[in-house]
């Protein structure tokens, strides 16, 4: 089955990438360990070797998908002509990210399995830092300002987006029009 020789990091990354891809292809449904192993070209026991459990892998894969989606959202923000368009466009793009259902399941898994909270925290901290760096670049390049520190700006924005996704996945009957995600950003010209 696994004929390629790779580094441990390469195998781990390939497993995460394939798990994330399968989740997206299956509308956010968790693929089996056998499906992930087959797609990654590894043996099923390598998944538990690298991640400890399928749940841990799914958390890693969900956040990998989120970080990849966030990079695409940055491109949407870069095309905005003013701060108002930036807030609107970025917010719309985030609420439409295909990784959000998987991330909401990862957050729920971490609530149910406390041993996963450090994995979630590590990925959230990375997301927040990358978003803060992005906001710093875009505001500096455009001469825009924010009414609060950019780290707080990023954490507030993502916390609101993830909270909205959790509510939606838990059965809230509203839609994205019921949420002013753009209003959580204080970026202005």
Segments in the chain below pLDDT 50: 1-6
Residue 146 CB burial class (10 angstroms; 0-12, 13-18, ≥19): middle
Q: What is the pLDDT of residues 129-143, one digit of tens each?
A: 999 999 999 999 999
Do 42 and 71 lie in one domain? The reply is no
Do 34 and 85 lie in one domain? The reply is no
pLDDT recorded at residue 177: 60
> Residue 144 sits in which domain range?
59-184
Do 42 and 77 lie in one domain? The reply is no
Nearest by Cα to 106 from 66, 67, 62, 47: 62
pLDDT recorded at residue 2: 45
For 34, how many CA atoms within 13 A lie in the half-sphere containing its CB?
Answer: 0
State the Cα–Cα distance between residues 66 and 176, nearest whole angstrom: 18
Tell me the two tokens of residue 77.
Answer: 């923000």
Which domain CATH number covers 48? 1.10.10
Do 25 and 68 lie in one domain? The reply is no
90 in any annotated domain:
yes
pTM exceeding the 0.85 threshold for the entire prediction: yes
19 in any annotated domain:
yes
189 in any annotated domain:
no
137 in any annotated domain:
yes
Do 68 and 143 lie in one domain? The reply is yes
pLDDT recorded at residue 4: 47
pLDDT recorded at residue 28: 60
Nearest by Cα to 177 from 158, 187, 186, 164: 164
């Amino acid at each position: 089955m696994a004929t390629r020789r790779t580094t441990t990091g390469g195998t781990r990354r390939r497993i995460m990438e394939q798990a994330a891809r399968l989740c997206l292809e299956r509308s956010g449904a968790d693929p089996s360990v056998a499906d992930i192993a087959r797609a990654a070209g590894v043996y099923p026991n390598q998944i538990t070797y690298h991640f400890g459990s399928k749940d841990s892998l799914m958390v890693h894969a969900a956040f990998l998908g989120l970080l990849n989606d966030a990079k695409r959202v940055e491109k949407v923000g870069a095309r905005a002509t003013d701060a108002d368009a930036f807030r609107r466009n970025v917010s719309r793009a985030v609420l439409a990210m295909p990784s959000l259902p998987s991330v909401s399941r990862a957050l729920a898994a971490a609530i149910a399995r406390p041993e996963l909270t450090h994995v979630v925290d590590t990925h959230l901290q990375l997301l927040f830092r990358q978003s803060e760096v992005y906001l710093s670049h875009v505001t500096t390049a455009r001469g825009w300002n924010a009414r609060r520190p950019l780290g707080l700006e990023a954490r507030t924005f993502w916390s609101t987006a993830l909270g909205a996704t959790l509510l939606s996945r838990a059965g809230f009957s509203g839609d994205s029009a019921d949420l002013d995600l753009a209003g959580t950003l204080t970026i202005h010209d």
